Amino acid sequence: MKKTLLFGLSLTIVLSSASLFSSSEAQEPERPQKWDPNWEPPRTAWGHPDLQGNWSNATLTRFERRQGVDPVYTWEEVDRIEGREQTRVQRGFESSDPDRPPLQAGNVGAYNQIYFDRGDRVAVVNGEPRTSLITFPSDGRIPALSLEGQTRKQEYDDFRSQFGRYDHPELRPLAERCVVYYASSPTGVLGPPMTPTQGYNNNFTIIQNTDHVVIRSEMIHDIR
């Protein structure tokens, strides 16, 4: 069973279901409803909320909101976004022409479509299709660095500017070495917050006992 996990399990996103078609006419898709305050999560035999299973946080929703965009999409916008992604996926699965000419110099592409898992739905929070995963601050964007943070970043940038990016093994980026993957935020796929990779490997496995909860990410196979 595939579930959705966003922001360190603090919020379960309800995904809109696919459109249902009868033999006579197309029906309106069922839209997600607002959170039910009376909902009770399943519990383990020892009484804790049961989080075990396989989860995914793949989504078409951006981490940060674009400038000047409202916090909530209209359902018409949602249909366009999800339809555009479906079209892209279908196009990616089409057979390639074996007699096509070789690509010219430049971007030669990446993985085949089968390896990508960008999600196929916009994230819905309390019945609202959101334009960003960040819901606070209200502008949906990462706050600017403090003066101390700006100073520390400048000191780091000045130090690294002495070297090329790949001058020796210790300078190779951690993500390039598959030590950690940063996903949508600088904290990595296991966070906090736990953010989508925007490409693939967005799955998690959670196991728990009476004393511990273990979260294992598909990306880099990190465990928290």
Residue 28: the pLDDT is 64
pTM for this structure? 0.75
Residue 14: the pLDDT is 33
pLDDT tens for 145-183 read 999 999 999 999 999 899 887 888 888 888 788 888 877
In the block, tokens 């965009």 appear at 69
Residue type, 140: G
In the block, tokens 């074996």 appear at 98
The SS3 assignment for 41 reads coil
> Do the Cβ atoms of 13 and 4 come closer than 8 Å?
yes
pLDDT tens for 114-151 read 889 889 999 999 899 999 999 899 999 999 999 999 99
Query: Which residues 6+ apart lie within 8 Å of 42 measured at CB?
Result: 49, 50
Question: How much of the chain, in percent, has pLDDT values that exceed 90?
Answer: 46
Distance CA 182, CA 45 (A): 35
Q: What's the mean pLDDT in 72-99?
A: 94
Q: What's the mean pLDDT in 4-28?
A: 39
Question: Any idea where the domains of the chain sit in the sequence?
Answer: 1-17+27-93+113-143+182-224
Look at residue 36 and tell me whether its pLDDT is greater than 70: yes
Beta-carbon count within 10 A of 149 CB? 11
> Do the Cβ atoms of 189 and 222 come closer than 8 Å?
yes
Give the mean pLDDT of the chain: 83
Residue 19: the pLDDT is 33
